[in-house]
Amino acid sequence: MLVVRFVVPETMKHPIPCLLGVLALSAVQARQTFTGTITDNMCAGAGHAQMRMGPTDGECTIACVEAHGATYVLLDGKTSYALSDQKTPEKFAGQTVTVTGTLDPKTRTIQVDAIRAAK
């Protein structure tokens, strides 16, 4: 009589944790590129004309962040995205930039990897 035995790998003995691990990895967001203008969250919707804290949009953005506790955001024309990096955007305030990073769609926050002037 022939007896056949199957050897189950250690990782297959617990299929539920393995499946959950695969699902978690597939849910990880990919790096993306976003193009828009660096502005602040106070003026992102209405523009700088109302606040006009400086002669240019860039100076107004910096003033709103420094004087009113606003935060830097990327405005792509219709949607504003919070930026995890709040230091680098200052040198690009009021300018069109390309931001590379990972978007958290629930909070609309970009985990910033890099910011550079748009071409």
Residues constituting the chain: 119
- What pTM was estimated for this model as a whole? 0.73
CA angle centred on 113, ends 109 and 115, rounded to 5°: 90
The reported pLDDT for the residue numbered 54 is 74
CATH 2.40.50 fits 30-117, yes or no: yes
CA distances from 66 to 1, 19, 58, 87, 112 (A): 84, 47, 12, 12, 21
Query: Taking the domains of the chain in order of start, what are their residue ranges?
Result: 30-117
Could you give the CA distance from residue 4 to residue 91 in angstroms, rounded to a whole number?
Answer: 70
The string over 99-118, giving b where at least 16 C-beta atoms fall within 10 Å of a residue's C-beta and e elsewhere, is: bebebeeeeebbebeebeee
The reported pLDDT for the residue numbered 11 is 57
DSSP 99: E
* Each residue's pLDDT expressed in tens, for the chain with a length of 119 residues: 677 676 666 655 566 665 555 555 545 569 999 999 999 999 887 776 666 677 888 999 999 999 999 999 999 988 999 999 999 999 999 999 999 999 999 999 999 999 999 98
